[in-house]
Structure 1
């Protein structure tokens, strides 16, 4: 049989006046009730209230009239278990209870409704979760990166956009498209031959961008025989 460690955390907001010791008994009763719902047969109860723990262990007498009903209630609940024991843990060693107490003071739950809070430990960074997964086309995850570095080919599915200073989205293009666009804008449908700066402005207004565009503008104008 495989033994697994399982945590289920929870807290209750009490909507009635009560003493601190009543709160401790309420918390103990809630934990025992949750264990019954999960059909636990052997239970160890850990608490940071020495009064509650030692009263339930019958080492201390329960004399407070407000606590007697709680004590009797938990004595009834313990009959659901084959084995149950109560252990005192100082507050500074009970990190989970301390965290829940802090959380309950910060959040306000609506009356009659439950608020589910999941706490889990992440062993890998979020952006590394998919690394190593087999793609649908049976190609490694780095295939598109390798093809771009090797041949300058962008992914077929990509339509990369670059946000300009005025928040306009510009479409990123490769070297081949860049040469055709510079040729068309410089001496074609966009008008007369312009210098490098004017050419850059026209291409940006047309909605295109590439990483070497500034130097390419100047080189293209220098090679133009009509300029």
Structure 2
């Protein structure tokens, strides 16, 4: 187990998150497990396996990150672009459906979509399946669907119809929007309605 200096009220200590590519700054206190030979245990998500305490630290850190960034059924007026609130002053929010990569694979299999083969980079296969899913649904619905990353636990990507920053130009008519939503729900075999999600890639949303 990696030893870190003791934490005190006088010292703000940010540990290093050790990965296969070298050390990275970690936003929570992290320690890593070793095997019986004293070697760090590889982990596909973190580089090396975190201890149970470190996983709990990570969970608490993520909970703080998500606090105040919960999905919304309706877009509050203060997040809409206006003369008083130009786009560059607002956070970026996304309207659509959050999904997991396994849902994209299931859809691609049902629709017999051609995906990357076994000889391809395994890191690229999930996002490629997601993009193929969105492209197919885009064609079926006639809407301009986009691949986005929402800030929400338990999902990998989302199918976005539009963002708050371009809503005035992109928003569909009510009946057309309803039809697109129903097509997406039917094709993906989901029942949850679309919501507004915080964009996880937009630095101003941090």
Smaller-chain TM-score bracket: under 0.3
Between Structure 1 and Structure 2, the one with more strand by share is 2
Higher relative CO (Cα under 8 Å, sequence separation at least 6) belongs to 2
TM-score, normalised on structure 2? 0.21
Higher-Rg structure is 1
Between Structure 1 and Structure 2, the one with more helix by share is 1
